[in-house]
Structure 1
């Protein structure tokens, strides 16, 4: 088994007044050739967006983009006609494909938006752009791995165009889980909140862990934790 820790404090950092962002992998003005992604996982940004501000209309192409809301709300609008407000527990997926323009704003007057912005490389370029969102409330993630995105949309998950399965979990105190990995696959665990041991490695909020050459990912928390797990081909 090969386990590689990406400590929260070692991530790239951008401050824009209205936005505070931490980059697990190279992004925008932050470039580190040692951290360009993991398998098809290209971006994990942890963002804090001030009230009544956000990302104005801008373009993307050839990328699967997931937004995981930790706290607050984000108002989304894009050139496909996709539009909605997503809150804690909701996830959106946007297939940029041949090209899409969108905006993401914090519509709340007095609450900071806290989210994970996730980019996954698609299995093919020039796909038809699309948008979807779904609710995966805390109870559905309690002490289990809830599938939130997958290639085939099984179990009510959102569809992404890549051989990747994305899970979320909220572990209670003293609880543990195990996720089997098929031969040749790897996993990334991103810690959203709390602390836990991932295959014996103790990690806490903001940390990421890459796991290769392992039969399973084991998760155990003494005092509770929230994580997102990526099972990647």
Structure 2
């Protein structure tokens, strides 16, 4: 088993006034040669956008882009014709494929929106662009990891163009769960959304991250009330 830990305070930081972002991996002006990616997980940005502000129209291609609002509402528009609002409790995926343009704005005029922006290298390149969004509140379970993304169209949650699975766990103090790797050779990156946990004897808190690979499972126990995002992804060889 191999492990890498990224404490919250070691992340790269960007503050443009309207945008305050923390980067687990190299992004924009933040460059760290030892923090380029975890397997096919390329970007994990923890963004806060001020009221009425946002990202103007810009292009993407050959990337799986996932947005998870944590507080507030995010308005999305894209060249596929989608005009939607992503709320806390939703999850969105945009498979950029051959190319797509989009914009994202804080829908609120009086409060900030906080969300995770996650990029995954795709399994297949130059596919037709695709958009998906669901409310994960319909999938929620207590004290176990529940699936929100997978590579299978007919499986629970959204599907993405990669052999990757995303799960979220909401745990009461003292509760625990074991996550079993779904595909041999994959690793798991855990990001602590709230609270404090112990993962394979490593103590982690709010916004800490841990990558684990060369293992068949990981074990989590909540030290306090906690919420955790698990991202199982192929490791780049």
The TM-score with structure 2 as length reference comes to: 0.95
8 A contact 2:143–2:175 mirrored in 1: yes
Aligned residue runs from structure 1 range 29-68, under 5 A: 29-68=29-68
Query: Stretches of 4+ moved more than 4 A in 1?
Result: none
RMSD: 1.3
2:85 counterpart residue number: 85
Report the Cα offset of residue 165 of structure 1. Answer: 0.5
| Distance of 2:8 and 2:172 partners within structure 1 | 22
Any gaps of 5 or more consecutive residues in structure 1? none
| Distance of 1:138 and 1:112 partners within structure 2 | 25
**CA deviation string 1:197-219 (max 9, x = no partner):** 11110111111101012221111
1:124 counterpart residue number: 124
8 A contact 1:21–1:47 mirrored in 2: yes
Report the Cα offset of residue 110 of structure 1. Answer: 1.9
| Distance of 1:100 and 1:29 partners within structure 2 | 23
| Distance of 1:113 and 1:150 partners within structure 2 | 26
Aligned residue runs from structure 1 range 70-109, under 5 A: 70-109=70-109
Structure 2 residue 172 is matched with structure 1 residue 169: no
Report the Cα offset of residue 133 of structure 1. Answer: 0.3
Report the Cα offset of residue 168 of structure 1. Answer: 1.1
Any gaps of 5 or more consecutive residues in structure 2? none
8 A contact 1:89–1:138 mirrored in 2: no
8 A contact 1:82–1:132 mirrored in 2: no
Task: Please say which of residues 188-197 and 132-141 is displaced more in the overlay.
Answer: 132-141
**CA deviation string 1:61-116 (max 9, x = no partner):** 11000001111110001000122111111000001111100011001122211111
The TM-score with structure 1 as length reference comes to: 0.96
8 A contact 1:138–1:170 mirrored in 2: no
| Distance of 2:155 and 2:178 partners within structure 1 | 19
Aligned residue pairs total 233
1:219 counterpart residue number: 220
Report the Cα offset of residue 183 of structure 1. Answer: 3.4
What SS does the aligned partner of 2:140 have? helix
Report the Cα offset of residue 28 of structure 1. Answer: 0.7
Report the Cα offset of residue 139 of structure 1. Answer: 7.1
8 A contact 1:141–1:168 mirrored in 2: no
| Distance of 1:122 and 1:74 partners within structure 2 | 24
| Distance of 1:183 and 1:160 partners within structure 2 | 18
Report the Cα offset of residue 141 of structure 1. Answer: 3.9
| Distance of 1:153 and 1:229 partners within structure 2 | 19
2:11 counterpart residue number: 11
